[in-house]
Chain A
Amino acid sequence: MRRSRALLAAGAALSLVLTACTTDAPTDGAPDEGAETGTGGDWFDAEEYEAQLAQRDIEPEGPEDEPWLQAIDPEYADTSEHALEGAEREDPTVCFSNASVSNPWRVTGWITMQQQVEVLQESGDIGEFRVSDAADDDNQQISDIQAFVDSGDCDAIIISPSTTATLTPAVETACESGAPVIVFDRGVNTDCMVSFIHPIGGYAYGADAAEFLVEELEPGSKVLALRILPGVDVLEHRWAAAQRVFGDSDVEVLGHEFTEGDGATIKDLVTQHLQRGEVDGIWMDAGDGAVAALEAFEDAGRPYPVISGEDELSFMRKWEEEDLTALAPVYSNFQWRTPVLAASMVLDGEEVPEEWVLPQEPVTEEDLDEYLERNAEMPSLHYAKFGGEDLPGYPEAWQDR
């Protein structure tokens, strides 16, 4: 029995070592040290960061009341080679490979896209709209795209990639098929597509939120960062930018916690931080569960923090009810309309921006009431800047999801 006890002790020691390793891994990846030295970590690209921050101040080109058709600093690409003529232009087939509809943001955007497609189908600009959903599985999406190519039916292919590096070859395969390819939301490491559509980006998002907190909080205030999960580029960029902004300021970052967007986890973590001391500000890399974080303050009988959430309605409604000091950074949901419109334009041979950067403006105190009024009938996990108010299915399509 002595032997098995020794074994047990060794096992316990091993598990300690293993867990220690596990703890180290995320911090290696996170640019903690980078923020201090100003060089940034793996996820920090100084050039891209500066570019995104500058893009926030550039007046976008395009129709004023249709932000999904606006573009920041566009460089137009000639698409005449993809123009369809005569009978071919009648009812062309557009194929869409979707990464997933696994979160409320994607669900909202997906509804908007379908409504936009209906409009284009009525007008005869596109015919069949073929869709595959990869449910967040890279391999599934690669074979989905391959199936589109093999079918030979797609006159244009739209791709919302699930991850960057893994999907790059699949996007290249789609390009080689000859059909025009349009990529949106997350990017890929190739420029073979006709257009890459995305809002300004994660750095601008994270910086908007962090700058707001720095401005509203007294020097020496304590900020808690709540993050969904590590390793996703759009989320890591938000945090990298925030670290940069906080690093140059007088506010103290208490730490960052991964929550997977689960309300119970968020409320629990915030409650524990409140037991330990003051929390003056909350920075979030996505708005899921922002209300749970605020409830932790209510239940602990503490004053509300200055908070940055997202343009998700549950948070914006809470903001209005409790008259919070808050900001809702936006990862423009209306971008889901643009790819199908772009596909139709390309098939007409109209030029489109090679990199189509859509505007991305946070919802502030000033326009809070306006956006709440516009979305008064919408469910709480809906995104205020969904940009589908002028589509025929509004509002039922977004209400009955």
Chain B
Amino acid sequence: MTATGVPGTLRRTGAALAGGGSGTVYALLALVFAVVFAINPSFAQPPSLLAFAQQAAPLVVLAVGQYLVIVAGELDLSVGSLVGAQVVIAARLIDGQESATLPVLLLMVAFGAAVGLVNGLVTTVLKVPSIIATLGMMLVLYGAVRLWTGGAPTGALSEAFRTAGRGDAVELPLLGGVPWALLIAAAAGAAAVALMRAPQGRTLVAVGDNATAAAFSGARVWRVRTLAFVGSGVLATLAAILIGGFAGVTAQVGEGLEFSAITAVVLGGVVLGGGRGTVVAAIGGALAVEALFTLFNQLYLPSTIQPAVQGLIIIAAVAYASRERSRRSPRAPADAGGPEKSPREEV
């Protein structure tokens, strides 16, 4: 490592953040899978791959939600706590009664949207930076749930509730059961792709890229960003339904998921600060993170290594993206209001 390279790179990191394409992350995904297959050929069989898809589905959904917020130039740290809160609320309200499933599901969606709305309004109207607003929301939800439950969740989820995360939609010849979770995550991903191609999606990216310019061209920046937070809240609710369905209710459910989601999104080359990156790449990032953890497990590495690796991925992915960006166009457009704004950009 040469000393002269460091200051230049550091300066550029602040000045210019941009992403590689989705090709990079899917290449990484293929590489990780190739290694996993080499270690354990039985993992290449359809039932194992479908089990992988089922288990990766919640993170994919969370990554899509986090993408909406990040591409609009913000960050949502509250999703992990929201997932935990939603599962605990669902268990307590359903308490094993099948008939309560649907009303509680609707209530959860409303609650998720409300949390997103509060996050969005606190960020846009009260002008609290989203990293603080959602950090606050994360702690509020964490504490409120513990206060409400006295520290330990009660109740139980119904069988119907658990179908989405645990059950199979169809039984296919050769393949075996195709989990609902896979179809739900695919639907969420497809909806997000459609949204990003629509004018609303382009506005979202434009707001993240340069809020001032977007405002001049007629976008209501505060409304777009608030809606991105609402989307993240609703998708976190969907993830909660999948996770609760997958493994039932435990006191620790949801912990640390916000960082897994952010890791997935930045690994997909989506730029923190907004305006760059595709939702397909974010989904690829989620799959790659899950695949990587599968690989660690296959190598018998302890699961306590995961936070360390996540941290390194976040740093390395952002550093890589900034390097790509500085090569392509040295003068990045100013990111409106983002924490990455450097004095150089204002000249």
A residues engaging B (CB < 8 A)?
1, 3-4, 6-8, 10-12, 15, 18-19, 22-23, 26-27, 101-104, 106-108, 111, 229-230, 255-269, 271-272, 275-276, 288-289, 291-292, 295, 299-300, 379-381, 401
Contacts and interface: CB of A to CB of B under 8 A. Distances in A.
B200 interface: no
Given A15-B316, A264-B247, A381-B154, A271 B6 contact: no
Given A8-B319, A102-B151, A104-B152, A257 B302 contact: yes
A111 B149 CA distance: 13
Counting from the closest, the 9 A-B pairs by CB-CB distance are A263-B247, A104-B152, A401-B150, A263-B250, A107-B151, A379-B154, A264-B247, A3-B5, A262-B252
A186 B257 CA distance: 30
Contacts of B4: 3
Given A102-B151, A258-B304, A264 B246 contact: yes
Nearest to A103: B251
Contacts of B250: 261-263, 288-289, 292
Nearest to B12: A4
B1 A7 contact: yes
A275 B51 contact: yes
Contacts of B243: 264
Contacts of B58: 264
Given A3-B5, A295-B247, A26 B255 contact: no
B152 A269 contact: no
23 contacts: A3-B2, A3-B4, A4-B323, A10-B1, A18-B308, A19-B309, A22-B308, A104-B152, A257-B302, A261-B250, A261-B252, A262-B253, A262-B255, A265-B303, A275-B40, A275-B43, A275-B48, A276-B43, A300-B51, A379-B155, A380-B156, A381-B152, A401-B152
Given A19-B308, A102-B151, A291-B248, A11 B319 contact: yes
Contacts of A379: 152, 154-155
B336 to A, nearest CB: 27
A295 B248 contact: yes
Interface in B15-74: 40, 42-43, 48, 51, 55, 58
Interface residues of B, number: 50
Contacts of B153: 104, 381
Contacts of B300: 255
A104 to B, nearest CB: 4
Given A258-B304, A263-B248, A292-B248, 9 more contacts: A4-B9, A7-B1, A7-B2, A26-B304, A263-B252, A264-B58, A264-B246, A271-B55, A379-B152
A111 B58 CA distance: 35
Contacts of B166: 295, 299
A266 B247 CA distance: 8
Between A6, A256, A401, the greatest number of chain B beta carbons within 10 A of the residue's beta carbon is seen for A401
Contacts of A104: 151-153, 251
B294 A272 contact: yes
Main secondary structure of the interface of A (DSSP, over half): helix
B251 to A, nearest CB: 6
A108 B303 CA distance: 29
Nearest to A15: B312
B298 A276 contact: yes
Nearest to B45: A275
Interface in B297-321: 297-298, 300-305, 308-309, 312, 316, 319-320
B137 interface: no
Between B42, B301, B316, the greatest number of chain A beta carbons within 10 A of the residue's beta carbon is seen for B301
A22 B9 CA distance: 27
A1 B150 contact: no
A286 B249 CA distance: 16
A269 B297 CA distance: 8
A257 B299 CA distance: 12
Nearest to A30: B302
B344 interface: no
Given A26-B304, A257-B303, A263 B253 contact: yes
B220 interface: no
Nearest to B257: A264
A210 B166 CA distance: 31
Nearest to A288: B250
B327 interface: yes
Contacts of A264: 55, 58, 243, 246-247, 253
B303 A259 contact: yes
Nearest to A379: B154
B320 A8 contact: yes
Contacts of A7: 1-2, 5-6, 9
A23 B5 contact: no
A12 B327 CA distance: 20
B246 A107 contact: no
Contacts of A258: 302-304
B5 A6 contact: yes
B253 A101 contact: no
A6 B8 CA distance: 14
Interface string B69-84: 0000000000000000
Contacts of A15: 312, 316
Nearest to B154: A379
Contacts of B319: 8, 11
A6 B323 CA distance: 12
A295 B167 CA distance: 12
A161 B304 CA distance: 25
Nearest to A111: B150
Contacts of B253: 262-264
A289 B303 CA distance: 16
A268 B2 CA distance: 42
